[in-house]
Structure 1
Amino acid sequence: MKDCSFTIYIFILGALLSSVGANDSDNEIDIESLLRSISASLTVRGEPAVIDRALQIEGGLLESLENEIPVYQSDSGDVSRTAFTDGPELDGPKVQTKYGVLKGLTVDKAHIFYGIPFADPPVGALRWKPPTPVTPWKGVYDATFPRPACMQACSGPISDECPAKVSEDCLYLNIFVPLDVNFTSPLLKPLPVMVWIHGGDFIAGSASKPLYDGRFISNFTHTVVVSLEYRLGAFGFLVSGKDPKTSAVGNYGILDQQAALLWVQQNIDFFGGNPNKVTIFGESAGAQSVSLHLMIQSSQPLFRQAVFQSLPFSIPLKTRHDALKLGKSFAKLANCTIKDWACLKPLSSQAVLAAQVKAGAKIVNPFRFLEIFETWGPYIDGELIKEQAVTAFQKGHWQKEKPVLLGTTSEEGVIFVYGVFTKPVSVVECTVYTTAIFKQHALKILHKYLPLFKAKDCRAMLAQIVTDFVFLCPSRKSARAGTASGSSVWMYVFDHVVADHRVWAGLSSCYEHVCHGAELPFLFNSAAVANFTLTLPEKLLANRVLCYWGAFAHAGDPSARVEQTNFCQQQRPPAWPRYSDTSSWLLMNLTVHSHAQAGSRDRLCDFWDKLGIY
């Protein structure tokens, strides 16, 4: 396409946007209409997105949502826990914690303790409050089954991916322990601990999702694995004011994660774990959470090192102003005002969730509309979270002494773009969308990418732009900034297409692609749960991924030789060099023939770095 054509398209869009004038509400309505098609079927963060359903909920459907959500808690805030055993003793390991005795179960590959409370239920007067320490219990706590997930919308065409049970009473964690751990005598050498933070756009997901079965990692890597729940959506991130006594002040979900990490510090030694050797790891929104804990000073003593997988660095956290604007919309939809705490506080769980879904369908700031991909979530409150993660990592405002392993999949953007655009996108439409997102930088971006894609359908190009701008290139820049400040950093790209082309974990739009979350069935060795069968080379890849993550948990280096399984000792995976200029910026390509390589998209990342917009 010629330069003049680009200019014409951009001029037309500029005229369209400027025609809405200085009226902020008019701007919001017009741009929201323009973007509604972009997010109408959005699926995000490796989990089924609630926002796509929110955009489709109209009229009576929204009202019916309150009656459809399975909530396992009374509106009064009273929670009935059938958690204690008073009858005949059942077989299973028992552990004495600081809060009481737990009884778990022993299965193939691991001892499991499900549904351990790490804070009191955040219900009634404790809703929209920081988590409070769990109340000690008498008797034996039954930790043989998972508890309900945190509140989320579970209706519509992808409800099969949602948890079967949800509740406000959801602050629980699961622990997976290798079979050779004897709980009756302390280990001479406690095991490393790996704490998993699930993704789901901060509105969906669960630690107990079958895909995240931690027994495989625990057994293979010889570590204690912990997975935790945290409040989601409006329950975890509503902001209605500044005074915590008379308003919701947000970021409760991040505080829940901190409370779980503190519980691990206080209790994991009872399970054979070493509290001084904790690795936190997560994918997508879970990776965002990991990055925030590396920035939050009060999280510093709670873990030793970190792994973030598919961190969407370029999706901005909300400012306080925008978080309050979202809270105002939420309150109005709940038939309250943002300052009427007496109205907001006693809302039923269903009413909160219904207002959350409807509020999440709106664009809060039409000039920063990438936020629509993460409507609810952490915000910059100036105290707990002081800046954007991408800014903190580039400026060195994080815990640089901690080893970090990070990476992306090779086609992160496919699930987003093809999930949104079910029909081909023309060059004209592509130009409009690119300009709406990147404004004055659109011409340079289109000049860079259009020559690389010859098809009339521009979706492949848009998917690559999302991959590069949101995930890969800001991760690369942050990794290089970390190494420049003396940090130990390892970087990877997961680059393997599943051999039998089946789909998993809700990634149905990623047929024959290496999409967002594609590494999860390999990392958790849960391919059967994820609905595909591994070939022998793929099993080798899954084992190598576990060797790398396990070695990192044991020694802070994915190439270290440590006591894991015989496989890691006998079939030692290829060496994974630290990411630095002395190694020519080599990263690990994780595929059936894993190997260290230079970045395949370095020229495009150089372009984005120079553009300076993340």
Structure 2
Amino acid sequence: MVLFGTTLIVVTLHSMMPIVSGRLKSETQQTGTRIMIFNIPNTEHNKTHESLDDVFLDEPALNSFKSLEFYASADEFSRNTVAESTDMHSVADSISTRTECDQINCEGKNIVHKEPEMDENLNKVGCDGECIINSLDNTSDGLEDTSSGDPVVVTHLGRVRGRTLDKANVFYGIPYADPPVGDKRWAPPSSVSPWTYTYDATFPRPACMQVCAGEFSRMCPPKVSEDCLYLNVFVPVSINLSLPIVTALPVMVWIHGGDFIAGSASKPLYDGRFISNYSNTVVVNMEYRLGAFGFLVTGKDPESSAVGNYGILDQQAALRWVQENIAAFGGDPNKVTLFSESAGAQSVCLHLMMQSSEYLFRHAAIQSLPFSLPLKTRWDAMKLGWDFAKLTNCSAFDLPCLRSLSSHDVLNAQVKSGSKIINPFRFLEVFETWGPFIDGELIQEQPITAFQTGHWQSYKPVILGTTSEEGVTFVYSVFNRSVSTLECVLYTAAIFKQHALKILHKYIPFYQNQDKRVMLSQIVTDYMFLCPTRCSARSGVRVGGAVWLYVFDHAPSDHNIWAGLPFCYNRTCHGAELPFLFDSAPSTNFTLTPQETLLANRMACYWGTFAHTGDPNSRREQTHFCTQQRLPVWPRYTAPEGWPILNLTLPSHPQHGDRDHFCDFWDRLDIY
């Protein structure tokens, strides 16, 4: 039996299996094995002990598993089973795994397995209203202003002055909504009032509030604040904004990722100058409320409660700003492409599902979307919100009290309430504690359900894709030491329940490594990202959608891309494509080889061409720069052609499928 947090797993052999030298052997005849899983109360006596690292099941032992039984509670277990020879109170003396690991942050993946002591750290940072952090990840790129005169445009709200840098005219920190502070905290974004002066858009504004203390500070923006609803605009340097615009350019709007709790539009990684200049597009990216500030739900009545999904409404407000103002920057409001990765890709998918967003864009590129990660139900979102409110000593239905909290208090309650539900046997929770929920109005169903049923804007061309090793980041962040086969079996059983045996039998023959993190990483990649993306792409095609599918399969040569994440060295982890897509090595101090530079140029051109025409292959409006890159053909994803995809690697090439036999297996399980 295994005790893990609030989950008890009982492994019972119907006949004895001898243990030899710490290895569970299966030489003796067995009639079967039962794995029973149920929740038990979390008490001071339910402490975990160190794991038995060298205990693992060999394949014959695994084959002896005959059934997996699951119980919702200890009472249900006792009602449905006969007395077992195993003493229930000796669980902690058998096998257990750790309940905490190092706090690791990767693009917003704050994995915390114990309730952190945030008060002291937050006070050190001074997060009451604003946080200012010195961060090597967000230093200035050092590029000098090369213009003799700053570009000035006239928007519907007033004049805006930007900067001309070496690749683009840049306008930083333009407000698209009023600051969401005071009575506007936990309220939909409100329109900005016009100004009569020339707005200074020559420097970035703060990112939205996020945890900027201890281990979290490493990935934080230089400055965060509740006053954060700003966006940036990048215009090709060849466009003279002082003259009338003759031909409007396509617009590419980036929504940053970060698990809906972290990240920033102004991160150097997302520097839009290069993709804007190379592809002749106007690039926009925006900040939006994160964590509890953006997604707290305490009730249904907006007069007395936080009703959630504010971060998605912020994005929608930024897209409306684009419709109303982008023409002043040379952009075409009728030719807007959304593109994003991870949590940002989830956002793009939601806008594809939301009727109120339909007129705001024309194409979508969705990168590394965890389709199998379900959005919270209203009940789940409200339960988290009530835990949050309890920690603040405010009633969940006392919005004035909640709004009176300092930013420090909100962040502190956000971290503590979120860490309560983290449980490695509910592994999927490490992906997303705070985020959008199905409210029945703005968001009506799960994204993968919408794709499968055609309840999305399927007439819009879509790019879909993943990296080849998405799961490495998450598995190795949670498990900071090797995982034995036995532990792997238990984790898989806890997560996938009655499907666990089939999954283990499918994967174990292919992954004989003693450290089963390798296998778990591939299971996460396949189940969460790669295979449901393929399934959604095929569903989109069946309802008449134009879809292009890719897999990014190149491990970056410069390990600095993975600062603080050594397990991603020589791997294609979650987010590996981003320095290439933005071609942002000059801003991020990464070094690309000549072959990698070609890959980066080609990616910028594929996405830019897609923004121009809705087809990444079109040569009709390619820039001279993109023509020089000699882009390999990216076939449209269709059944008659054998479902071809583009492998973005060195060199890039089309191919028929990626891990299709594994994805066929997951499709048959039908558990996305």
Query: Is this a same-fold pair by TM over 0.5?
Result: yes
- Classify 1:252/1:22 alpha carbon distance in 2 versus 1 (closer, same or farther; 3 Å): farther
Q: Which residue of 2 aligns with 1:47?
A: 107
d(CA) in 2 for partners of 1:6 and 1:479?
43
After superposition, where does 1:108-147 map in structure 2 within 5 Å? 108-147=166-205
Which secondary structure does the structure 2 equivalent of 1:159 belong to? helix
Q: Which amino acid aligns with 2:163?
A: L
CA contact (8 A) 1:523 1:545 kept: yes
CA contact (8 A) 2:252 2:338 kept: yes
Deviation of 1:468 (Å): 0.1
CA contact (8 A) 2:647 2:653 kept: yes
Q: Which amino acid aligns with 1:282?
A: S
Deviation of 1:68 (Å): 3.1
d(CA) in 2 for partners of 1:204 and 1:447?
37
Q: Which residue of 1 aligns with 2:277?
A: 219
Q: Which amino acid aligns with 2:74?
A: V
1:428-478 C-alpha deviation (Å, 9 max, x unpaired): 100111011001110110010011111111110000000000000000000
After superposition, where does 1:239-278 map in structure 2 within 5 Å? 239-278=297-336
1:272-315 C-alpha deviation (Å, 9 max, x unpaired): 00000000011000000000000000000000010011001111
d(CA) in 2 for partners of 1:502 and 1:141?
36
Which of 451, 474, 498 is matched with 2:509 structurally?
Answer: 451
1:68 aligns with 2:93: no
Q: Which residue of 2 aligns with 1:425?
A: 483
d(CA) in 1 for partners of 2:167 and 2:397?
52
The structure whose RCO (Cα within 8 Å, separation 6+) is larger is 1
CA contact (8 A) 2:186 2:294 kept: yes
Q: Which residue of 1 aligns with 2:75?
A: 21
- Computed over aligned residues only, the root mean square deviation of the Cα atoms, in angstroms, reads 2.7
1:471 aligns with 2:529: yes
d(CA) in 1 for partners of 2:620 and 2:127?
45
Q: Which residue of 1 aligns with 2:607?
A: 549
Which secondary structure does the structure 1 equivalent of 2:232 belong to? strand
Q: Which amino acid aligns with 2:288?
A: Y
Which secondary structure does the structure 1 equivalent of 2:573 belong to? coil
d(CA) in 2 for partners of 1:171 and 1:17?
46
- Classify 1:562/1:154 alpha carbon distance in 2 versus 1 (closer, same or farther; 3 Å): farther
1:179 aligns with 2:227: no
d(CA) in 2 for partners of 1:326 and 1:6?
44
Deviation of 1:18 (Å): 5.3
1:150 aligns with 2:205: no
Q: Which residue of 1 aligns with 2:452?
A: 394
CA contact (8 A) 2:128 2:406 kept: no
Q: Which residue of 2 aligns with 1:8?
A: 33
Deviation of 1:260 (Å): 0.1
1:376 aligns with 2:427: no
Deviation of 1:540 (Å): 0.8
1:434 aligns with 2:488: no
d(CA) in 2 for partners of 1:530 and 1:22?
55
Deviation of 1:72 (Å): 7.4
Which of 654, 658, 669 is matched with 1:596 structurally?
Answer: 654
1:357 aligns with 2:411: no
d(CA) in 2 for partners of 1:372 and 1:16?
22
After superposition, where does 1:544-583 map in structure 2 within 5 Å? 544-583=602-641
Which secondary structure does the structure 2 equivalent of 1:475 belong to? helix
Structure 1: gaps (5+ residues): 24-29, 76-88
Which secondary structure does the structure 1 equivalent of 2:278 belong to? helix
Aligned residues: 588
d(CA) in 1 for partners of 2:652 and 2:224?
40
Q: Which amino acid aligns with 1:184?
A: S
1:336 aligns with 2:361: no
Which secondary structure does the structure 2 equivalent of 1:416 belong to? helix
Q: Which amino acid aligns with 2:107?
A: E
Which secondary structure does the structure 2 equivalent of 1:290 belong to? helix
- Classify 1:191/1:16 alpha carbon distance in 2 versus 1 (closer, same or farther; 3 Å): closer
- Classify 1:402/1:359 alpha carbon distance in 2 versus 1 (closer, same or farther; 3 Å): same
1:316 aligns with 2:379: no
CA contact (8 A) 2:645 2:657 kept: yes
Q: Which amino acid aligns with 1:208?
A: S
Q: Which residue of 2 aligns with 1:86?
A: none
Deviation of 1:177 (Å): 0.3
- Classify 1:469/1:349 alpha carbon distance in 2 versus 1 (closer, same or farther; 3 Å): same
1:200 aligns with 2:263: no
Give the percent of matched residue pairs that are identical in Structure 1 and Structure 2: 62
CA contact (8 A) 1:396 1:485 kept: yes
Q: Which residue of 1 aligns with 2:360?
A: 302
Q: Which amino acid aligns with 2:118?
A: L
d(CA) in 2 for partners of 1:57 and 1:144?
40
- Classify 1:455/1:124 alpha carbon distance in 2 versus 1 (closer, same or farther; 3 Å): same
d(CA) in 2 for partners of 1:177 and 1:497?
31
CA contact (8 A) 1:193 1:278 kept: yes
Q: Which amino acid aligns with 1:416?
A: F
d(CA) in 2 for partners of 1:158 and 1:247?
29
Which secondary structure does the structure 2 equivalent of 1:10 belong to? strand
CA contact (8 A) 1:363 1:369 kept: no
1:111-150 C-alpha deviation (Å, 9 max, x unpaired): 0000000000000010000000111112111000000100
Q: Which residue of 1 aligns with 2:46?
A: none
CA contact (8 A) 1:317 1:371 kept: no
d(CA) in 1 for partners of 2:359 and 2:219?
35
1:586 aligns with 2:647: no
Which of 453, 468, 475 is matched with 1:410 structurally?
Answer: 468
CA contact (8 A) 2:368 2:465 kept: yes
Q: Which amino acid aligns with 1:534?
A: L
Q: Which residue of 2 aligns with 1:26?
A: none
Deviation of 1:582 (Å): 1.5
Which secondary structure does the structure 1 equivalent of 2:153 belong to? strand
d(CA) in 2 for partners of 1:456 and 1:138?
67
- Classify 1:251/1:91 alpha carbon distance in 2 versus 1 (closer, same or farther; 3 Å): same
More helix by share: 1
d(CA) in 1 for partners of 2:37 and 2:114?
29
Deviation of 1:38 (Å): 7.1
Structure 1 stretch 358-367 or stretch 298-307: which is displaced more? 358-367
Which secondary structure does the structure 2 equivalent of 1:226 belong to? strand
CA contact (8 A) 2:338 2:348 kept: yes
Deviation of 1:396 (Å): 0.6
Deviation of 1:559 (Å): 0.6
- Classify 1:474/1:364 alpha carbon distance in 2 versus 1 (closer, same or farther; 3 Å): same
d(CA) in 1 for partners of 2:502 and 2:176?
50
d(CA) in 2 for partners of 1:469 and 1:484?
21
d(CA) in 2 for partners of 1:557 and 1:391?
25
Deviation of 1:43 (Å): 5.3
Deviation of 1:22 (Å): 6.0
CA contact (8 A) 2:271 2:587 kept: no
Q: Which residue of 1 aligns with 2:296?
A: 238
Give the TM-score of the pair, scaled to structure 2.
0.83
d(CA) in 2 for partners of 1:2 and 1:471?
35
Q: Which residue of 2 aligns with 1:80?
A: none
- Classify 1:199/1:301 alpha carbon distance in 2 versus 1 (closer, same or farther; 3 Å): same
Q: Which residue of 2 aligns with 1:91?
A: 149
CA contact (8 A) 1:220 1:564 kept: no
Structure 1 stretch 176-185 or stretch 559-568: which is displaced more? 559-568
